[in-house]
Structure 1
Amino acid sequence: MAAIATGPGKTPNLLKRLLARPTSAAGLITITLVVLAAILAPLLTAYNPAQLSIVNRLSPPSPEFLLGTDDLGRDVFTRMLYAGRTSLSVAFAVVIVASLLGITLGLIAGFFRKADAPVSRLIDALMAFPDILLAIALVAALGASAFNVVLALGIVYAPRMARVVRASTLVIRELPYVEAARALAVPTRVILFRHVLRNITSPLLVQGTFIFAQAILAEAGLSFLGVGISPDIPTWGTMISVGRQFMNSAGWILFYPGLAIVVTVLALQLLGDGLRDLLDPRLAKDI
């Protein structure tokens, strides 16, 4: 199991090992640049993402407007940078919510035998629905807002994290050092956090990168359908939704946000694959 592959103390050179592999290095460098571009948005552009300029409506890419303007004359490059802030922040928050819910459910199901069946059935029931349909249903029930989108997507992706934690916990709870801790009457919460959770950080880290990528796609999908974050807040999904109306006459409005999503998700997938290969000893032997 990857769950018991490596602890935090066994990977001091993880960053160096990641950079030594071309694919994972490309993913790490790319996602770092994307995050820095979003954080440094005010320094990279002189425009306001909400600034209207009807006279410059649908202007093609030029030295003045690097990626052109949209139907309201807003600079596409500027909106892409600020949209990246929103999309990445929402996706990161989704990872946090999904991790908290998933780790809790997974530890309960994997460590406590009586709770395994009901919790596992709940996880299976949630995973039976397509991600986007379940997310739409939850957002429709909760209301469209950034907080509710994060909560809905966190619930959607929590079962994936829970299954990883449960499978890992089922193995670790039978190991001698856990049995010894239980025999010495060590409190259950201490066993869970000190002996179980600390030994499954590697697969959780890998799963978190994949959920990050999926959350970006899901948020973009919800925004594209108009059931996600308010259209007043720039996101890559809302930019694509606006751009589809001008696909033939001003394709740059749709193309560049779509390219940003593709590049970011691909970078996260490459990074996740690299982490999985390095942190799983069965795969690491072949590297």
Structure 2
Amino acid sequence: MSITVSAPTESEGRKFVRRLLKRKTVAFGLIVLTVFVLLAVFAPLIAPYAPGKLSIVNRLQPPSLQWFFGTDEFGRDVFSRTIYAGRLSLLVGAAVVTLATVIGVVLGLLAGFFPKLDTPIARVIDAMMAFPDILLAIALVAALGPSLTTVIIALSIVYAPRLARVVRASTLVIRELPYVEAARALGISTPHIMTRHVLRNLLSPVLVQGTFLFAHAMLAEAGLSFLGVGVSPEIPTWGTMIASGRQYIGQADWVTLFPGIAIVLSVLSLQMVGDGLRDMLDPRLRKDL
């Protein structure tokens, strides 16, 4: 008697990751993000100098073996400051995405599941989205006072309505599906239905939207710092580095060039990963892949 042993099937999660990594743009984005995260985590070990170390005699030195990215107007190492600035940008992006997701999911669920709350919440969301993101963020920071915590709170308030709209639209569809109606008929409590049956089916759009919000938050933080309404000027950020070096573009363009490249690469890689996740998780787009 012969016994046939079936090979273990590959898990759905592993298949999804493999399909995702087959896309060159997504693989490139993940590699770039991994590099930025590693540089941020191990900045004290990688950076050759302290980010605030002054050396006036070495001011505006061009890139060399001693100064990889050159020095700024105070003789500070641009390479070290760029690495440390990445830590703050990633921190702001992660904090904003976390807080905005919590606010957006709660508002979107309440608006989409309870018809009585839909109109007032939807009007608030529309009113907030009527303002340009950067102007609303500047107004909130000016009202609360410039600091790292204020920037995170302001950007979270700015970007939460975007996520709330996505969650609300998805909840309006999910609440009418047969399995939700069956759960109601069985007498299952509303909080249980919202968390067990509705929220679980919102993970895909929330995850995709979160990657885009991460990129927008990093870009907005750099914009606020560039305008001087972000974090304290002595804290190295990509925005403050570009702002302080713009008057030396003619004679020392590396002061603004490398922080600018860091912003472009980080935001572009997040957008690439977000596009890949959207294409893989959306059934309508997945059929065309």
Q: State if a TM-score over 0.5 links the two structures.
A: yes
Once the two structures are superposed, residues 13-36 of structure 1 have per-residue CA deviations (whole angstroms, 9 ceiling, x without a partner) of 332222111111111111111111
1:43 shift after superposition: 1.7
Once the two structures are superposed, residues 43-85 of structure 1 have per-residue CA deviations (whole angstroms, 9 ceiling, x without a partner) of 2122100111111111110100000001111100000000000
Q: Take 1:170 and 1:70, find their aligned partners in 2: how far apart are those partners? A: 53
Q: How many residues are paired up?
A: 279
Q: Take 1:32 and 1:55, find their aligned partners in 2: how far apart are those partners? A: 36
Deviates more, 1:11-20 or 1:70-79: 11-20
State how 1:153-168 maps to structure 2 within 5 Å.
153-168=155-170
Q: Take 1:126 and 1:206, find their aligned partners in 2: how far apart are those partners? A: 22
Q: Which residue in the other structure is 1:171 paired with? A: 173
Q: Which residue in the other structure is 1:266 paired with? A: 268
Gaps of 5+ in 2: 1-10
Q: Which residue in the other structure is 1:225 paired with? A: 227
Q: Take 1:180 and 1:143, find their aligned partners in 2: how far apart are those partners? A: 50
Q: Which residue in the other structure is 1:124 paired with? A: 126
Q: Take 1:13 and 1:242, find their aligned partners in 2: how far apart are those partners? A: 47
SS at match of 1:185: coil
Question: What is the aligned counterpart of 1:50 among 35, 46, 52?
Answer: 52
State how 1:1-287 maps to structure 2 within 5 Å.
11-287=13-289
Stretches (4+) displaced over 3 A: 9-12
SS at match of 1:51: coil
Deviates more, 1:35-44 or 1:229-238: 35-44
Q: Take 2:190 and 2:236, find their aligned partners in 1: how far apart are those partners? A: 46
Q: Take 1:119 and 1:182, find their aligned partners in 2: how far apart are those partners? A: 24
SS at match of 1:227: coil
Indicate the RMSD between aligned Cα atoms, in angstroms: 1.0
Q: Take 2:32 and 2:280, find their aligned partners in 1: how far apart are those partners? A: 19
Deviates more, 1:127-136 or 1:53-62: 53-62
SS at match of 2:250: coil
SS at match of 2:68: coil
1:198 shift after superposition: 0.6
Q: Take 1:161 and 1:246, find their aligned partners in 2: how far apart are those partners? A: 40
Once the two structures are superposed, residues 154-187 of structure 1 have per-residue CA deviations (whole angstroms, 9 ceiling, x without a partner) of 0000010001100000010001111111122212
SS at match of 1:229: coil
SS at match of 1:13: helix
Q: Percent identity?
A: 65
SS at match of 2:73: coil
SS at match of 2:95: helix
Q: Take 2:36 and 2:62, find their aligned partners in 1: how far apart are those partners? A: 23
Q: Take 1:259 and 1:14, find their aligned partners in 2: how far apart are those partners? A: 31
| Higher RCO structure, 1 or 2 (CA under 8 Å, sep 6+) | 1
SS at match of 1:71: coil
Q: Which structure is larger by alpha-carbon Rg, 1 or 2?
A: 2
Counterpart of 2:208, as a letter, is V
Q: Take 1:176 and 1:112, find their aligned partners in 2: how far apart are those partners? A: 17
Once the two structures are superposed, residues 180-238 of structure 1 have per-residue CA deviations (whole angstroms, 9 ceiling, x without a partner) of 11122212111111111111101111000000000111000000000001111111111
SS at match of 2:99: helix
1:247 shift after superposition: 0.8
Deviates more, 1:40-49 or 1:255-264: 40-49
